[in-house]
Amino acid sequence: MRDAAPLVLLHGVAMSARVWDDVIPLVQTRHEVVAPTALGHRGGPLVMRHPATVRELVDGAERVLDDMGIDRAHLAGNSLGGWMAIELALRGRAISVCALSPAGCWDTGGHGRAGGNAKLRRMVGLTRRTRRIHPLALQSASIRRLAMRGIACHADRLTPAQALAAADDLIGCTVLEDLLATVEQMPEVPELPCPITLAWSGEDVIFPLRVNGRIARERLPQARFEVLPGIGHVPMIDDPGLVASTILATTGTGELG
């Protein structure tokens, strides 16, 4: 049975709605699913000025809700998308939020951000330099796993086409440097505007549990917090079933069966 309220899925930085492709079939029996691609990302709306800010991306996501006539929805997001989901909740647009290793959980001095940013920059640089050989190289499951080890533990489970699309999303993002350099951060939310689950990837090396997970719990002390074991920063790659179950538990529509 479907919940009457839609479920909106928000992707991470330098990704696109395609990252949810293996999750959507598992949740669409319970919800109408909306998966937009964010401003400045490959396939999404163009950015009119730089530097782009997280606030502007949240504005863009809110316009999607407005254009679709959606007042409030269940929101789920990973990394940047998790942060955006929480910001939308603070604007009164969420029925519930499932934030998967959300970004923005760092301090004003940048603690909790520098290491992850450096890994992402190295990944982008390598991806650009090797783009010519991707169609051949990504046929290998071992190379897919190695190439994406910064964001996933089991990228070998992706098809070559999925891995190639993810690489093109990475190098096609026009706001990556803007967002990596932002001084914005997630605010403290002592009183939740709706039920919020913080679901942290146990093997996250971009935003490690011991650093960013701790800050997230401090910023949202009333949120439900859980650790998803054995998966990396982008859990939709590693275990779509676990992600779907975690989202549905948050929306209250039950476990997968």
- Summarised one tens digit per residue, pLDDT across range 149-163 is 999 999 999 999 999
> Does the pLDDT at position 141 exceed 70?
yes
The contacts of residue 19 (CB under 8 Å, 6+ apart) are 11, 12, 78, 166, 169, 234, 236, 237
Give the domain ranges of the chain: 7-251
- Summarised one tens digit per residue, pLDDT across range 210-238 is 999 999 999 999 999 999 999 999 999 99
Nearest to 33 by CA among 44, 17, 46: 17
In which band, very low, low, confident or very high, does the pLDDT at 254 lie, cut at 50, 70 and 90?
low
Mean pLDDT of the region 111-118: 91
Buried b (16+ CB within 10 A) or exposed e, 24-38: bebbeebbbbbbbbb
> Does the pLDDT at position 51 exceed 60?
yes
Calculate the CA 66 to chain-centre distance: 21
Mean pLDDT of the region 65-75: 98
Euclidean distance between CA atoms 134 and 157, whole angstroms: 17
Structure tokens at 212: 């960013």
Mean pLDDT of the region 115-134: 95
- Work out the percent of the chain whose per-residue pLDDT is above 70: 97
In which band, very low, low, confident or very high, does the pLDDT at 257 lie, cut at 50, 70 and 90?
very low
> Does the pLDDT at position 181 exceed 90?
yes
Euclidean distance between CA atoms 253 and 31, whole angstroms: 9
| Alpha-helix runs per DSSP H in the chain | 24-27, 54-67, 80-90, 114-129, 134-137, 141-147, 160-172, 176-180, 214-219, 235-238, 240-251
Mean pLDDT of the region 124-145: 97
In which band, very low, low, confident or very high, does the pLDDT at 1 lie, cut at 50, 70 and 90?
low
In which band, very low, low, confident or very high, does the pLDDT at 108 lie, cut at 50, 70 and 90?
confident
**For the domain with range 7-251, which CATH number is right: 3.90.950.10, 3.40.630.40, 3.40.50.1820, 3.50.50.60?**
3.40.50.1820
Euclidean distance between CA atoms 140 and 160, whole angstroms: 8
Nearest to 5 by CA among 99, 93, 95, 98: 95
> Does the pLDDT at position 10 exceed 60?
yes
Q: What is the pLDDT of residue 109?
A: 76
CB 76 within 8 A of CB 100: yes
Q: What is the pLDDT of residue 134?
A: 97
Q: What is the pLDDT of residue 111?
A: 81
The contacts of residue 105 (CB under 8 Å, 6+ apart) are 112, 185, 186, 207, 212, 213, 215, 216, 219
* Average of per-residue pLDDT values in the chain: 95
The type of residue at 139 is Q
Q: What is the pLDDT of residue 253?
A: 66
